[in-house]
Amino acid sequence: MTDVYNTRNFLEDYFHIVRKSIAFFVSRIRRSIFSFLLIVLAFTAAGAAYWYRTTPYYESELSCAYSDPRALRKTYGEMAQKLNLLAQSRSGAQIARVLNLPFEQTESIISIDAKNRAGSPLFEDITRERYPVYFTLKATDKAVFLPFQNALVNYLNSDPFGARLRRHALTRLGLEITFLESDISQVDSVIDAYTHALREGYPFKDSADYSFNIRSIFAYKDTLQERVAELYERKNLESEPSLGIIHGFMPADKPSRGSKKVIFAFAILGFLMAMCWAIFRNHKRENNV
């Protein structure tokens, strides 16, 4: 019972303080309503002017998947982040050299943002999960999106260390396939000899004079062929680029100036500044009286 009484008293005191605070602010605003509204309108107009002066730009997202289990998503993120830093420093000439694109296109690039499926920066992702990765391009020229898409994928697939690993893997797979195909050829020669012996009516026995089980030879050949097919599939995957496009950039027909939240932010700032001005002005007026 005592706890309930104390809680009720606390809530009553709390709401009393809130009501008095609201009444205090309202009274101060009413005494300086014109200057208050003027300050709020001035900040709102400044926010609108800032938004309107922002350079219109196009924005679109590129979704990619990758097939190399050795590749880290962080590697792709770091490569894209380097391009983003160049874009933000207005280094269009350097981007043109890296991506082999005309400078007239790369100078319009504003930013390149790489993220994972959760929306986190890709250069911070150290996982090896094969989920799609996303690249967002902002540019003032709509014509740059398609050539940049192809150039970006080629650039990300040109990782020297990854390329060297793929070459080694292809060489190793080629040697293993050659060895297994040679083994299959030897098994085929044994099967041909067995077939010839049966055709001539000779008993077919191994070197230890045991009866020959042809079923085990056929089973062994099937196992070798399955292994070769698996290795060819892996070799084809290794031959493909590590990063592939799921869906490309699709910029809108008209550019955007970005979110209008900046106007709202300026209006909130103006409201706070006007509130401080009203309190200060009324406090000074009361002291003079």
Q: pLDDT by residue (tens digit) across 212-237? A: 577 788 888 888 888 888 888 877 77
Please indicate, yes or no, if residue 226 is contained in any of the structural domains: yes
pLDDT of 109 strictly over 80: yes
Residue 62's DSSP bridge partners are 135
Residue 255 inside a domain? The answer is: no
Count of CB atoms within 10 A of residue 122's CB?
21
Best CA proximity match to 95, nearest among 47, 60, 147: 147
pLDDT digits (tens, 9 = 90+) for 132-158: 889 999 998 888 999 999 999 888 888
Lowest mean pLDDT among 35-39, 60-64, 256-260: 256-260
Asked whether the predicted pLDDT for residue 208 surpasses 50, the reply is no
Decide if 253 is inside a domain: no
In-domain check, residue 18: yes
More confident residue, 220 or 54: 220
**What is the total count of domains within the chain?**
3
The CATH number assigned to the domain holding 108 equals 3.30.70
In this structure, the chain runs to a length of 289
How many angstroms separate the CA atoms of 84 and 91, rounded? 10
Read off the amino acid at residue 201: G
Check the CA dihedral 225-231-235-236 and report its sign. positive
Q: What is the separation, in whole angstroms, between the first and last Cα of the chain? A: 50
Please say if the pLDDT value at position 69 is more than 90: no
Q: What percent of the chain has pLDDT over 90?
A: 13
Q: Provide the pairing of β-strand 109-115 with 58-66.
A: unpaired
Burial class (CB in 10 A: 0-12, 13-18, 19+), 243: buried
User: What is the rounded distance in angstroms from the CA atom of residue 230 to the CA atom of residue 68?
Assistant: 16
Q: How large is the C-alpha radius of gyration of the chain? A: 36
Q: Do 147 and 181 fall into the same domain?
A: no
**Same domain, yes or no: 153 and 77:** yes
Shared domain for 48 and 105, answered yes or no, is no
Please indicate, yes or no, whether residues 150 and 171 belong to a single structural domain of this protein: no
Distances from the Cα of 232 to the Cα of 147, 184, 227, angstroms: 33, 15, 9
Q: From CA 144, how far away is CA 99, in angstroms rounded?
A: 12
Please check whether residue 224 lies inside any domain of the structure. Answer: yes
- Do 89 and 150 lie in a common domain? yes
Q: Residue 220: CB partners within 8 Å, gap ≥ 6?
A: 187
Residue environment code for 159-185, b if the CB has 16+ CB neighbours within 10 A, otherwise e: beebeebbeebeeebeeebeebeeebe
State the pTM of this model: 0.60
- Could you list the residue range(s) of the whole structural domain that residue 104 is in? 58-157+243-247
Q: Does 42 share its domain with 68? A: no
Average pLDDT over residues 191-211: 64
Nearest to 254 by CA among 149, 177, 140, 167: 140
Within a domain: residue 180? yes
Residue 84 has pLDDT above 60, yes or no: yes
Question: DSSP letter string over 156-220?
Answer: HTT-HHHHHHHHHHHHHHHHHHHHHHHHHHHHHHHHHHHHHHHHHT---B-TTSPBP-HHHHHHH
Average pLDDT rounded to a whole number, residues 199-206 = 62
Kindly state whether residues 18 and 101 are assigned to the same domain.
no
Q: Tell me the H-state helices in 89-135.
A: 92-99, 103-106
In a domain, 252, yes or no: no
- Residue 254, in any domain of the structure: no
Residue 267 to residues 32, 37, 41, 43, 281: CA-CA distances in angstroms?
18, 11, 7, 6, 21
Tens digits of residue pLDDT in 153-190: 888 888 766 677 777 777 888 888 888 888 888 888 88
